[in-house]
Structure 1
């Protein structure tokens, strides 16, 4: 069976060129949901719809607004996509927003696309060659140069099936986003659902999220919990890189969250207000950009104002440039890491300046001049050491072979790096995996937080099942998680009990709120001896909530305080052992049920299951109508 692949594709193009209608033709979903969108026939917010392309491919379509005023939503929509459909209406051709969208797509480093000419039924067939040639001229020099072009009509359905097939073929060759890294989801929508609470929606950039995970909202550093995950309105146990997901969050209200926030699963991500970048500009700026000029940064779904600082010029001329090394000093913190793509726009007069990628998320203050440019060039190229640490932070643990392939360095050079950092204690090699000590420490802290929350929920259990714990932290790799767990157990920070794992200082016990009632149940069973009431009556009289009854029952059995006499009765282990000793002392090697009745004074209701328990304990063995003592009870 083929493994499932996950992708997000986007629509881009000028207003009223039929993106939303095309989305509906492909998916049968109308993405215009706001009243204003219906009244004005334009898209204001991002629209999403599932595109069915077979059992092994899950695809989300992002329908981004085309109007110039809604360009920020457009940037937020395309920032996480794997394939773009550039939409051009047959009756109008390439328009100003088409060109601006093309610039933004190029600057964001998107490489895969198809061109779709909509409203094809409005033009004569002999016009199609002219339209195709015009579009080819406009997209020359972009990643759309040489891209497949499809004529469709969304209302009649012409060309839709062929386009759907072309999308599937194209995506089959697109590398799926890696779900092994640390989870990151830039939030593009926040809303509430009656009876459910706060919900955020976005495209998962990296990693994987599972229902029940503890997450953090950046830049506010607010802890939340993933209570429920949905993909296109269907509940799922998890979401992964490349998927559009909605996550119902516990621990945060709608007013505490906003578009531009980032949901993460690890301390690896941090916030910053000073970012070193490499910048490519659009071909022709309308106005020059002065040193420390005011800019608006679009990064993921965030929009932040700030200033641009140059180190080799005092002004960015209208002719612009490529690979300009500079720095952004932002008014508010953002979440980013090396390699993230961005767009810069001028707030006033409004225009797209350019885009590029982050070379250092936590920039410093540098002097103006050639020396700083050289320093930034070295950062841009990335030393083998930089790349080694970036890889190990992202992948968490790797084999030597995978590390060598991804670094692209000679084995001797890798060995020198590893030896140097092993001696410093920053990098470790254990169980065939190479990892950062800081990642191991982070993993242990996350496991301890997880176990602390588990002990609070289930104070009567010995701990969390080891297999469940390993699965929850599967993104760190089974080998690393097992190693960290075992080392922490050796140090006493964690402890293992059979298949359970617990904090080192944890001991199962009655929760304070219900301790008196639970003690009452335990004492009642003990006091009633061999002729104990039905357990349901004892629990009911104690007034324990239903969810605690089974927890207490299993705790008493696990801690060897009671045994299950039959499906309705619990018997104290003390009474059970005493009955065995008494019966053994007052009978011969062979005894009957009547003999046992005379010694213990019990009715058949209790006597028969008690004798069977003696057999199960290995003390007696049934032989016809009698029993033989096999072992003397202690």
Structure 2
């Protein structure tokens, strides 16, 4: 299917023309038929001689209903510009054309109606001149009469040529279907209609609304018949499960889960005659959505827009900025950035304007990574930026120059930390993450390379955490004391005398130079094995008193030492509080 929007001044015969082409009534409401003008969007379709199907979005022509017109024009790739031969080019003709130009529509056709009432030549010439100066460029023109049918075969042939020239849609793209109508059907529930510009939808698919709420596709209809799958480009009605019509009205989008972010602050380029003289507020029209915005000028043609509610936008999106008070189109909008940086520092706005001047709305992965320094690949995808770079870790992409500077900063930070904390075995990863202002500790670990090493949650140089000479000398003195009696743990006074405080003891324990049994109770690192050998020489099972005598130590040492022997499996504690060595336990079961 191919979708074409009508455009043109009120009462120039758009609906009559669609009716003549399709045999269908595009004016859905009795009020529209009574007044002879299209107030809301109308839809009709027909099959062309080539076998292709073309669906028309018949949009309003009256100035009061321009927002409805924008909802119809926004999602479609081609337009049929209708001008009456007896009326000529009119204000709404110009506004509709300006909207098409601002949205970058490149495929179109001029149709001059009422050729039976006036010479169509002047209207064709003027319309061609107006259209040629826009994004549509030179387009074909056909004169017809809806009343007599004259010229309709030529129009059908021109439509066949028009749809044949339309670009192929991306069927693998994520779905973003802007709802232009929402209503309830008894027995079916909520139905939304829209133009599917890319991707595909299947019955049973789970989609999300703009607000992130999950919905499921209960049914699909296109061209008046139920189908199991619809592919772009197509007019489609989607029957949803789990949502009310009030929650999925015009401007809501149905989205592929996880493929779009919600943007309420965007940087854009504005084009048009009034782009240099923008008011502080306006309305942004994109797809079928209309959202009030606050405007902050940045550069000659770039502005920052703050949206009253977030929309699922991507870099490169085309939109319109309109002044609803003055009822005029302010300009076309190209979205440059849907996740722009804050402008808190002095000079930030000017620097940002300079940066935006280099952006054209065609997102480039390397440029985006360079600007953001660090960014998740999934976040880039949600911004509309294709991602092919190799992550530095997990899903993280990094600007190469920034990544290199982070590596240097890591070495500097670890070196400085080692000097400040000579007894520590390295700098904790979480402290490094904060020092380098990184969003994920996995990035810290990914930065580690020789001569640095990662172990036990810390980053250090080889040899970091080795005991400083004064501490090593103090440990040697205590080891000499223990050589005479391995289980006579030195008292606190002796430890203080040689210069071993809590931090020094902790460092000695980390390096394996001492074994700590409890606060200020330290032994040589081989004390556990030595105790097991000593206890093997006494009768089994044995009591705490027996062990204390065998080890020639005090209760202060014997109690925690036996508990450590139990923990390491050297001994087994019996119900009567006696113990046996593990090898003896198997020979003397209780």
How does the TM-score come out when normalised to structure 2? 0.61
Q: What corresponds to 2:256 in structure 1?
A: 265
Residue 145 of structure 1 and its aligned partner are, at CA, apart by 4.2
Secondary structure of the structure 2 residue equivalent to 1:263: strand
Contact 2:296 2:303 (8 Å CA) reproduced: yes
Q: Does 1:186 align with 2:181?
A: no
1:388-422 deviation line (CA, Å, top 9, x unaligned): 999x87999xxxxxxxxx99xxxxxx9xx74xx24
Contact 1:59 1:243 (8 Å CA) reproduced: no
Contact 1:294 1:306 (8 Å CA) reproduced: yes
Q: What corresponds to 1:173 in structure 2?
A: 165
When Rg is computed on C-alpha atoms for both structures, the one with the higher figure is: 2
Cα distance change of structure 1 residues 206 and 151 upon mapping to structure 2, 3 Å threshold: same
Contact 2:315 2:363 (8 Å CA) reproduced: no
Cα distance change of structure 1 residues 359 and 395 upon mapping to structure 2, 3 Å threshold: closer
Cα distance change of structure 1 residues 21 and 387 upon mapping to structure 2, 3 Å threshold: farther
Q: Does 1:138 align with 2:130?
A: yes
Q: Distance in 1 between matches of 2:369 and 2:96?
A: 35
Indicate which of 155, 168, 192 corresponds to 2:147. 155
Contact 1:180 1:206 (8 Å CA) reproduced: yes
Contact 1:360 1:379 (8 Å CA) reproduced: no
Q: Does 1:113 align with 2:108?
A: yes
Cα distance change of structure 1 residues 383 and 225 upon mapping to structure 2, 3 Å threshold: closer
Indicate which of 266, 274, 283 corresponds to 1:275. 266
Cα distance change of structure 1 residues 137 and 39 upon mapping to structure 2, 3 Å threshold: same
Secondary structure of the structure 2 residue equivalent to 1:91: coil
Q: Does 1:373 align with 2:365?
A: no
Q: Distance in 2 between matches of 1:131 and 1:422?
A: 58
Indicate which of 14, 35, 47 corresponds to 2:9. 14
Cα distance change of structure 1 residues 204 and 393 upon mapping to structure 2, 3 Å threshold: farther
Q: How does 1:472-491 map to 2 (within 5 A)?
A: none
Q: Does 1:385 align with 2:354?
A: no
Q: Does 1:58 align with 2:53?
A: yes
Cα distance change of structure 1 residues 377 and 301 upon mapping to structure 2, 3 Å threshold: same
Q: Distance in 2 between matches of 1:278 and 1:201?
A: 30
Residue 80 of structure 1 and its aligned partner are, at CA, apart by 1.4
Indicate which of 123, 133, 156 corresponds to 1:164. 156
Unaligned ranges ≥5, structure 1? 1-5, 314-323, 397-405, 408-413, 429-634
Secondary structure of the structure 2 residue equivalent to 1:98: helix
Residue 213 of structure 1 and its aligned partner are, at CA, apart by 0.7
Indicate which of 280, 283, 291 corresponds to 1:304. 291
Residue 379 of structure 1 and its aligned partner are, at CA, apart by 4.3
Secondary structure of the structure 2 residue equivalent to 1:225: strand
Name the Cα RMSD after superposition.
2.8
Q: What corresponds to 2:340 in structure 1?
A: 363
1:57-107 deviation line (CA, Å, top 9, x unaligned): 232111000000110111110111122110000000000000011111000
Cα distance change of structure 1 residues 132 and 58 upon mapping to structure 2, 3 Å threshold: closer
Secondary structure of the structure 2 residue equivalent to 1:122: coil
Q: What corresponds to 2:583 in structure 1?
A: none
How does the TM-score come out when normalised to structure 1? 0.57
Contact 2:83 2:123 (8 Å CA) reproduced: no
Q: What corresponds to 2:215 in structure 1?
A: 224
Q: What corresponds to 1:344 in structure 2?
A: 321
Residue 211 of structure 1 and its aligned partner are, at CA, apart by 0.4
Q: What corresponds to 2:553 in structure 1?
A: none
Q: Distance in 1 between matches of 2:378 and 2:107?
A: 28
Relative to its length, the structure with more helix (as a share) is: 1
Q: Distance in 2 between matches of 1:198 and 1:131?
A: 44
Indicate which of 256, 278, 282 corresponds to 1:289. 278
Q: What corresponds to 1:628 in structure 2?
A: none
